[in-house]
């Protein structure tokens, strides 16, 4: 019997692999780069919508006659809505196509941002934050699927690295912009500009983004094929957005969600309460300067994501050279995440807690910024290989696997984010950062377990895993 580690020597199967790889030649290199730029830009927007909000929290609370803890709940709420929206975007992107998901989502970003900008009360602001989050929800899941559509296995990690590098630079650049708007103009102006960015993105997608789904893979194409008519009319089909959650029966996907949650939590613990940790400890009240403190994390993301993506591709290429082109060792890609998960990820957040607690003045602030940079690199060293791996093992359902893993992770993160400021009030900055570091080390142990036992876990329950000739 042919196994995952048995060379597939039959000519028919070798030809099938080569035919499948030919699908990725549908677009020229220049077109692929254009598509990658577009989806990377779209992936910045979800993080930008959240990131511009964070440094404005004190001003928003004052303007809407509320308090910081209540307004911080808007961050958690938007994470939850984005997670739910990504499930909807993914299932309809698989049925109608990737392009359609963007043409529906980006106008919602425009409307939601304009609503937030003109909100007169906290409930009104919360409602439009939900609309805004729904508008950005497809950026990550559908964007990751598009990369799976146009880049073959040995190139996918590098492209995913560029994609994640751009998307995770958003949370670092956004607070700078949001801080500038809050301090020198108004938080409302920032949200207004974000709405214009959504409208601009919609126009870009309409004119420059082609449909990237593999021929015959969309549900609507199957409806057309079953029709006797030569026409291809639009037909609305109700789909269950929760259907993709059935993929989470996979033990290996659940482990990937946990590891990525542990990685992102370190980032959120350091950055979400920045105005109340770094700001208060080092006497920084200027929102623009607080926003600038996010930049080292963005620089780390810019360096870490492409590095991790390329490194994960090298592990895949090495595995193919070692075991043969037509064998399947997807867990080899995860080895690119080991170093980041073990050392810089937990130590950066723990170091920040220690420095904030015990080191005053400019030296303390500078050392904290170095921790932010190290964390930015480390988060991408972990997230990029994991995301590429998830697309690898469920390539035919790439949008759905991206959506459901991010949805579950985001729901957990929304709870974790809501507990950060209360945690700081209860056990202090060092205690809260220490908990995050401990979880990061647990995530490393889980990652090592997944690398070793992943093939066996995929045999326990087949949720439609990719075969070698389909990767």
Mean pLDDT confidence for 27-55: 85
From 9-18, 256-265, 309-318, 361-370, the region with the lowest mean pLDDT: 9-18
From 8-17, 48-57, 257-266, the region with the lowest mean pLDDT: 8-17
User: Which residue has tokens 């439009």?
Assistant: 128
pLDDT of residue 154: 86
Q: pLDDT higher for 449 or 59?
A: 449
| Residue numbers of the domain that contains 353 | 28-215+243-470
DSSP assignment string, 196-247: HHHHHHHHHHHHH----SPTT-SHHHHHHHH-SSSS---------TTGGGGG
- Let me know how long the chain is: 471
pLDDT of residue 12: 55
Mean pLDDT confidence for 200-229: 87
For residue 460, the domain's CATH number is 1.20.1250.20
Burial of 147 (0-12, 13-18, 19+ CB in 10 A): buried
What token pair was written down for 124? 């009104």
Number of domains in the chain: 1
348 in a structural domain? yes
User: Which residue has tokens 């420095």?
Assistant: 355
pLDDT in tens, 65-96: 888 777 877 777 777 788 788 889 989 998 99
158 in a structural domain? yes
pLDDT of residue 339: 94
Q: Kindly calculate the radius of gyration of the chain based on its CA atoms and give it in whole angstroms.
A: 22
19 in a structural domain? no
| pLDDT exceeds cutoff 90 at 451 | yes
Give percent of the chain with pLDDT exceeding 70: 90
Burial of 446 (0-12, 13-18, 19+ CB in 10 A): middle
15 in a structural domain? no
pLDDT of residue 314: 93
81 in a structural domain? yes
| pLDDT exceeds cutoff 80 at 291 | no
| Burial per residue of 87-97, b for 16 or more beta-carbon CB atoms within 10 angstroms, e otherwise | bbbbbbbbbbb
- At residue 210, φ and ψ (nearest 5 deg) are -80, 165
pLDDT of residue 17: 55
18 in a structural domain? no
Burial of 37 (0-12, 13-18, 19+ CB in 10 A): middle
Contact in structure between 35 and 210 (CB atoms under 8 Å) = yes
- For residues 252 and 275, give the distance between their C-alpha atoms in angstroms, rounded to a whole number: 37
What is the rounded average pLDDT for all residues in the chain?
86
From 48-62, 297-311, 395-409, 431-445, the region with the lowest mean pLDDT: 48-62
From 118-127, 249-258, 362-371, 435-444, the region with the lowest mean pLDDT: 118-127
| pLDDT exceeds cutoff 80 at 169 | no
DSSP class of residue 428 equals H
- For residues 433 and 437, give the distance between their C-alpha atoms in angstroms, rounded to a whole number: 6
6 in a structural domain? no
pLDDT of residue 3: 46
56 in a structural domain? yes
- For residues 7 and 305, give the distance between their C-alpha atoms in angstroms, rounded to a whole number: 32
| pLDDT exceeds cutoff 70 at 228 | no
- Which SS3 state, helix, strand or coil, does residue 405 take? helix
pLDDT of residue 187: 82
| pLDDT exceeds cutoff 70 at 11 | no
| pLDDT exceeds cutoff 70 at 172 | no
């Amino acid at each position: 019997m042919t196994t995952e580690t048995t060379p597939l020597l039959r000519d028919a199967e070798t030809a099938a692999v080569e035919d499948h790889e030919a699908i990725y030649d549908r677009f020229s290199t220049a077109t692929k780069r254009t598509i990658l730029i577009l989806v990377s830009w779209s992936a910045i927007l979800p993080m930008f919508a959240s990131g511009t909000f964070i440094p404005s929290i004190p001003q928003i609370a004052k303007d809407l006659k509320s308090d910081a803890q209540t307004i911080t709940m808007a961050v958690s709420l938007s994470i939850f809505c984005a997670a739910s929206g990504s499930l909807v975007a993914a299932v309809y992107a698989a049925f109608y196509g990737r392009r359609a998901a963007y043409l529906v989502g980006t106008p919602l970003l425009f409307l939601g941002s304009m609503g937030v900008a003109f909100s007169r009360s906290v409930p009104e602001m919360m409602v439009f934050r939900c609309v805004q989050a729904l508008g950005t929800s497809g950026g990550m899941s559908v964007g990751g699927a598009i990369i799976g559509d146009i880049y073959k296995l040995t190139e996918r990690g590098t492209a995913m690295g560029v994609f994640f590098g751009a998307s995770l630079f958003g949370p670092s650049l956004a607070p700078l912009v949001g801080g500038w708007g809050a301090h020198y103009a108004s938080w409302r102006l920032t949200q207004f500009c974000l709405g214009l960015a959504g409208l601009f993105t919609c126009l870009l997608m309409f004119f420059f983004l082609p449909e990237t789904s593999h021929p015959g893979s969309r549900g609507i194409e199957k409806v057309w094929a079953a029709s006797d008519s030569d026409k291809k009319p639009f037909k609305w089909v109700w789909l269950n957005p929760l259907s993709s959650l059935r993929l989470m029966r996979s033990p290996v996907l659940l482990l990937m969600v946990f590891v990525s949650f542990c990685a992102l939590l370190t980032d959120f613990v350091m950055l979400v309460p920045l105005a109340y940790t770094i700001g208060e400890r080092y006497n920084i009240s200027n929102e623009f300067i607080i926003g600038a403190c996010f930049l080292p994390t963005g620089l780390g993301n810019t360096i870490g994501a492409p590095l991790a993506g390329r490194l994960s591709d090298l592990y895949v290429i090495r595995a193919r050279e070692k075991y043969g082109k037509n064998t399947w060792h997807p867990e080899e890609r995860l080895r690119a995440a080991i170093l980041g998960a073990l050392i810089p990820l937990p130590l950066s957040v723990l170091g920040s807690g220690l420095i904030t607690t015990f080191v005053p003045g400019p030296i303390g602030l500078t050392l904290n910024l170095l921790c932010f940079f190290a964390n930015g690199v480390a988060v991408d060293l972990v997230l990029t290989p994991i995301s590429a791996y998830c697309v690898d093992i469920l390539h035919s359902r790439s949008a759905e696997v991206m959506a459901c893993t991010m949805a579950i992770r985001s729901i957990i993160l929304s709870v974790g984010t809501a507990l950060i400021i209360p945690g700081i009030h209860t056990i202090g900055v060092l205690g809260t950062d220490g908990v995050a570091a401990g979880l990061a080390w647990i995530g490393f142990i889980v990652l090592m377990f997944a690398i070793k036992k992943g093939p066996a876990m995929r045999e326990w329950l087949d949720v439609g895993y990719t075969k070698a000739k389909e990767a």
